[in-house]
Amino acid sequence: MSKVCIYHNPRCSKSRQALALLEQQGDELEIVEYIETPPDSATLSALLQQLGMNARDLMRRGEDIYKELKLDNPDLSEAELVQAMVDYPRLIERPIVIRDGKAIVARPPEKVLELYA
């Protein structure tokens, strides 16, 4: 049995669906409600490395705060984008699931099953 970590937003239907699929697998779950307990910049940077993504790819570009902060500015550094997600965790795409050192963004929720293949 593995331990699985999910960065979860209980108000998000896709996140709830992914969590339900994980619960069916029987692994021990660590649920991080990242809106209430946002990751710090080091944790978020490590997650990005595990995901093989850059910060902008993990951002929810449709969020109002994305537009308000002009985060589409190509001159912003990776560190500035990471800090924006730390400061405004709603910007983080969800859910992020980690199992056995592999991380994915579970969109669609069924993607979590790739961690069991």
Output the pLDDT for position 73. 97
**12 catalytically annotated:** yes
Q: What residues does each domain of the chain span?
A: 3-115
The encoded tokens of residue 31 equal 């649920």
Residues of the chain with pLDDT under 50: none
Model pLDDT, residue 84: 98
Q: Which of 3, 9, 12, 53 is catalytic?
A: 12
Q: Give CA–CA dist 84/67, Å, rounded.
A: 12
The architecture that CATH gives domain 3-115 is 3-Layer(aba) Sandwich (3.40)
- pTM score: 0.93
What pLDDT, on a 0 to 100 scale, did the predictor assign at position 88? 98
Give φ, ψ of 30 to 5 degrees. Answer: -110, 115
